Amino acid sequence: MRTKLEFLVQGIALAAAALMLVQPARGDTPAQPVQMRLETRGEFARLWFPWRRNVDYEVTRRGNALSISFAHAARIEGTAAVEASDLILAAAPRRADGRAILTLSLAPAARVRHFRKDLDIIVDIMPPLAPPGPAGLALATEVGEPRATVR
């Protein structure tokens, strides 16, 4: 027959083993969730990444692929919202080498700008500029901008 002390010791050992199963491995940190928001502002889309601390980031573009790499292995959530934008065709978040990376497939010739606001990182995806000359005037009138007078 077991004593109360033996049951207590066994219970503590089981609790410690369970904690070791749910703890991250030494050196790993749990991924902080970052809830990305998509805002449409007129003709452009704004991706808003609210961070709880200052995080370095890097934006790289190759053709129509845009990569936003954050210097923290966060879990980027809310990427399904990009379906509401005509300028962003797809979004694929991933984590690698201690970084969170979001790769976007952009509409052809879409323009990009990025900046910080407090701790947040903001990436704007804008439509291409209208080409100069008469073709540009025709494009501008198609999207509802005021007509220009050419003299």
35-87 pLDDT tens trace = 999 998 788 999 999 999 999 999 999 999 999 999 999 999 999 888 888 89
pLDDT at 135 exceeding the cut of 80: no
CA distances, 98 to each of 33, 47, 141, 144 (Å) = 14, 22, 47, 46
Residue 16 maps to a domain: no
Helix (H) or strand (E) holding 141: helix 134-142
Burial of residue 88, with CB atoms counted within 10 A of its CB: 0-12 exposed, 13-18 middle, 19 or more buried? buried
Query: What's the rounded Cα separation, in Å, for the pair 141 and 137?
Result: 6
Contacts of 49 by beta carbon, 8 Å cutoff, 6+ apart: 34, 36, 68, 70, 76, 120, 121, 122, 123
- Asked if 40 contacts 84 with a C-beta cutoff of 8 angstroms, the reply is yes
Residue 106 maps to a domain: yes
Q: What is the pTM of this model?
A: 0.67
| Confidence band for 129, pLDDT divided at 50, 70 and 90 | confident
Residue 38 maps to a domain: yes
Residue 123 maps to a domain: yes
Residue 13 maps to a domain: no
Q: Give the domain range for residue 70.
A: 33-142
Total count of domains within the chain: 1
CATH code where residue 96 lies:
2.60.40.3500
- Check residue 40 and give its pLDDT: 87
Average pLDDT, the chain: 77
- Asked if 75 contacts 34 with a C-beta cutoff of 8 angstroms, the reply is yes
Tokens of 65: 């692929």
Residue 44 maps to a domain: yes
Average pLDDT over residues 119-147: 68
- Check residue 3 and give its pLDDT: 59
Query: What's the rounded Cα separation, in Å, for the pair 65 and 24?
Result: 33
What share of the chain in percent tops pLDDT 70?
66
